Amino acid sequence: MRVIQEPFGQTSAGQTVDAYILDNGTIRVKLITYGATIVSIKAPDSDENVDDIVLGFDDMAGYQSEQNPYFGCCCGRYANRIAGGKFSLDGTDYSLAVNNGPNALHGGISGFDKKVWAAEIVGEAVKMTLVSPDGEEGYPGTLTVELTYSLNDEGELRLDYSATTDKKTILNLTNHSYFNLAGKGSVLDHFISINADRYTVVDDASTPTGELRPVAGTEMDLLEPKPIGQHIQKVQGLGYDHNYCINRQNEGDLTLAAFVGDPESGRTMECWTTEPGIQFYTANYVENVKGKNGAYYGKQHAFCLETQHYPDSPNHPDFPSTELAPGETYQQTTIYKFDAA
């Protein structure tokens, strides 16, 4: 395992952004400190041809552009949606920026995806740290977050998150990488299975209704591997953009949440997580985005597997809690394991 540090660029405000490369001799992962973002994952196919299997940009101008749909970043403080941008905590009402129809999305106008994180090499890993002050984007408490990226010889890219707060708050973190195991084109022929008997029902504004509905017998049933495109035209909205409730033996267990394979390249990916939910999103709103090496990305040219707590949990007491109090430590682990058959 090698870990390499190199410059990546500067933000429009003049902040220095560094890149870190994790290289196990087979897979090469590039991260940047802006948004704790995964910029590229270069992995071989079954014939040893190497392709970049995540969408992104070549430079900081791309990552800071309005065209950036959260490529590869860490979303926070609250990944996914909070209805109406409002929640209550211990009798106090809080208001957030509404930036997705009627919802607050992915932490607000300037969430964790738009911050420059501190970073250091720790052994064969990269640890990124961010301090979010009390009241930032409307959230209570000064929050300190650590996100450690590591890559092993088995092709496992591991994300270990931890966080503490000095005031009771809510927290929901995820990585928002857009994967394409073929390295280009549509992902509708990729096969996917998701280990979930239920999903979070949403209204037409993608706001959770509170219902957890069985997937059995519906277009949402991905328990057995099937092409992403097989039933996508039947799915509510423009395609998959739904939280699945992962089948787990015990809370906090590292559980296989999803498996994806590309029949053409032979590349496969497993997603393991300690989180209770996973947002399966098929890049429905990506249209004509100019990305790396002059490539143009379009609708359903990628898929996201965003491990998380359920969307809008603060407004649904029956959902797993996203509250974090002083003296407690938020912890979660997500692993993306890459291989080629």
**Nearest-angstrom CA–CA distance, 282 and 275:** 20
Which is catalytic among the residues 176, 190, 242, 301? Answer: 176
**Nearest-angstrom CA–CA distance, 245 and 210:** 12
Which is catalytic among the residues 146, 190, 306, 309? Answer: 306
**Nearest-angstrom CA–CA distance, 43 and 179:** 12
For residue 141 the two structure tokens come to 């408490």
Sorted by sequence, the CB contacts under 8 Å of residue 167 that are 6+ apart come out as 134, 140, 141, 142, 326
Residue whose C-alpha is closest to residue 269's, from 80, 19, 41:
41
- DSSP lists the bridge partners of residue 40 as 30
Residue 138, SS3? helix
Pairing of strands 92-95, 74-75: unpaired
Q: Is 306 a catalytic residue?
A: yes
Exposure string of 145-175, with b = 16+ CB inside 10 Å and e = fewer, is bbbbbbbeeebbbbbbbbbbbeeebbbbbbb
Active site residues: 176, 306
